Amino acid sequence: MEMRLACKAEGQPEIFYSVQGEGKNIGRPRVFVRLSGCNLHCVWCDTAYTWNWQGTPFHHVKDLPGHPNKFDSKRDMIKRDVAEVAAAVSNFNAPGVVITGGEPLMQQGAIVQLADALRTTRPHAIEIETNGSIAPSAALIEEVDLFMVSPKLPHSGNAPELALKPETLTIFAGLDSAIFKFVAREPADVALVAELAAKYAIDRERIYIMPEGTTSADLIARGSDLIASVLENGFNYTDRLHIHLWGERRGV
């Protein structure tokens, strides 16, 4: 089975060894596999090269008048067989793999095969970063050690009925293997997370609030605005370590 992957450079799938930059495992070494394609279209997405293809109508904060921030799927997406991806991951001496995107759950059949292949070579923790709008299959739940679920709030520009699906959020809320990470721009976003936490009975210990931003200056400024409401609500706070270390570079 083939997987659609993002490219870190032309012809090179975005599979790389780094530290997890966000959430529960921040600072831990991991291999990252970035898949291409997303069912949502966040206006501030920092991996728009996985979905914002030429000829599509989606908007992005980096659009300039007359020059939308579009990408060429022939250059920025590449297909690889699951066995090739598994071999590339196993070349790194990492304790775990993070499958990210884009939206990985668009390719969950291939991810199940990848997880199977990885476990036959040596033990890897299998972690998935998802926007939480696509239900995981029973087979995927069985394979995955950690789902990092990042439901998208209205400031993402997505319609709530597409981004915040009750039946899917209920499934993730009920999984011991799931934690939640919400991107926030202002304290009102944290208040909305508190409403979601109550609605889906998500323990606050499992919730991380992360400032939106793709520069250190933006993260510090937004984080300063958010931190009082994060603490008031008993949530965890997470930075974006990779932005401080590498900025917006791909494949790091």
- In the complex with ligand SF4, the residue whose CB is nearer, 119 or 249, is 249
Which DSSP string do the residues of 13-58 spell out, in sequence order?
E-EEEEE--SGGGTT-EEEEEEBP--S---TT-TTGGGT-BTT---
Q: Does 101 bind ligand SF4 (CB under 6 A)?
A: yes
CB of 47 to ligand SF4, least distance (A): 5
Shortest approach of ligand SF4 to residue 114 CB, angstroms? 19
- What is the smallest separation between the CB atom of 101 and ligand SF4, expressed in angstroms? 5
Number of residues in contact with ligand SF4 under rule CB under 6 A: 12
Q: What are residue 67's DSSP bridge partners?
A: 64
State the nearest-atom distance from the C-beta of 120 to ligand SF4, in Å. Answer: 29
Smallest distance from ligand SF4 to CB 122, Å? 29
Q: Cα separation of 76 and 249, whole Å?
A: 14
Q: Which is nearer to ligand SF4, 113 or 158 (CB)?
A: 158
Structure tokens given for 222: 């937004």
- Is position 152 an interface residue for ligand SF4 (rule: CB under 6 A)? yes
CA atoms within 13 A on the CB side of 169: 22
Upstream peptide bond of 102 is cis (omega within 30 degrees of 0): yes
User: Closest CB to ligand SF4 among 117 and 251?
Assistant: 251
* Residue list 13-52, contact with ligand SF4 (CB under 6 A): 38, 40-42, 45, 47, 50
Residue with smaller CB distance to ligand SF4, 87 or 134 = 134
What sections of the chain are H helices per DSSP? 73-76, 82-90, 108-121, 138-143, 160-163, 166-173, 187-199, 216-233, 241-246
The pair of structure tokens assigned to 185 is 């721009």
* Nearest to 251, CA basis, from 105, 97, 32: 32
- Cβ closest to ligand SF4, residue 56 vs residue 121: 56
In the bound state with ligand SF4, the residue whose beta carbon lies nearer, of 40 and 98, is 40
> Are the CB atoms for 52 and 41 separated by under 8 Å?
yes
Residues 159-178 that bind ligand SF4 (CB under 6 A): none
Binding site for ligand SF4 (CB under 6 A): 38, 40-42, 45, 47, 50, 101-103, 131, 152
